[in-house]
Amino acid sequence: MKAKGKKLLLFLLGIALCLAIYEIIAFRTGLKYLPEFFVALKGMFLLMGKSLTWVSLGYSLLRLLISFAVSTVVGVVLGILAGYFEPVEKVLAPLITILRAIPTIAVLFLLIVYVSHFYLYVVFLLLFPLIYQASLEGSREITRQYKDDLMMQGKWCWRNLVQVVFPLSQDYILLGLIQALGLGFKAEIMAETFGYSSSFQGIGKLIYLYYSQVEYADLVSLVLLVLLISLLSDALLLFLRDKIEEKLGISKKRIWIH
């Protein structure tokens, strides 16, 4: 009980530190760009009462879900195959390395010029390697553990890939999906903000509009709202991730004992 109380106290001190830093910056700049925190907080609740805010958020989440769904299908299929068939992993290794190494902002600027609905591609290119890697690790681990059982007549069987490897890899896959989803929301908003267009709605568009119209108070309030949503979603995803990692740790321990 004491440990939990100490942990909560440290957490509250961390929040107080963040608020203090914000207020120092706000007053040092004469409240020109950053409003006083509680003024911004009040503005956040006012924005929550506007339908435009929720419509914009809905569009952003819809685009995120589309990119996330495509990334999941492609990443899981290729990851499972790569973990089951080593030649597939070797062939895909250079592509995955490039996607991880290339700066996201560079891809963003290139796609803005050449691709319509570029924000979908930006999020896909960011999430796909994460989901692929998680699926690969799960498939590789399950294949290694049950190698003898998976071999039929001296060769790998496709039926085992679908009926054994994929189901047993789901915890690994889910862990990758959780990590990717939190990152995807931030990437979607970034892409919308940089690629502002009057032809679509989204949180990124609202951020750009408030910035271009020098409405810094509304801009900060909107950022606070996005931050609140991100923190709540990250807390939920972190809880789920810890549960999955705990489950995987128990599973590995049991396998090692036997």
- pLDDT tier for residue 255 given thresholds of 50, 70 and 90: very low
Q: What is the pLDDT of residue 234?
A: 79
Residues 6+ apart with CB under 8 A from 173: 76, 79, 131, 134, 135, 138
In the 8-state DSSP scheme, what is residue 117? T
List beta partners, residue 172.
none
Residue 10 has a pLDDT of 85
Amino acid 197: pLDDT: 64
pLDDT tens digits, residue range 93-147?
999 998 888 887 777 777 777 777 788 888 898 899 999 999 999 988 888 887 7
CA angle 214-215-220, nearest 5°?
120
DSSP letters spanning 126-153: HHHHHHHHHHHHHHHHHHHHTHHHHEET
Is residue 60 within 8 A of residue 202, CB to CB? The reply is yes
Residue range 36-61: mean pLDDT, rounded? 91
Contact 165, 136 (CB under 8 A): no
Cβ–Cβ contacts within 10 Å for residue 115, how many?
13
Which residues does 72 contact at the CB level (< 8 Å), separation at least 6? Answer: 131, 177
φ, ψ at 179 (rounded to 5°): -65, -40
Per-residue pLDDT tens over the stretch 147-172: 766 665 555 667 777 777 888 888 88
The structure's pTM equals: 0.80
Report how far residue 139's alpha carbon sits from residue 77's, in angstroms, rounded to the nearest whole number.
Answer: 10
As a whole-number percent, the residues of the chain with pLDDT over 70 amount to 89
Asked if residue 171 lies in contact with residue 244, where contact means CB atoms within 8 angstroms, the answer is yes
- Residues 52-106 have pLDDT tens digits of 899 999 999 999 999 999 999 999 999 999 988 888 999 999 999 988 888 877 7
d(CA 235, CA 184): 15
Q: Which of 64-82 are b and which e, b meaning 16 or more Cβ less than 10 Å from the residue's Cβ?
A: bebbbebbbeebbebbbbb
Nearby residues of 210 by Cβ (< 8 Å), 6 or more positions away: 216, 218, 219, 222
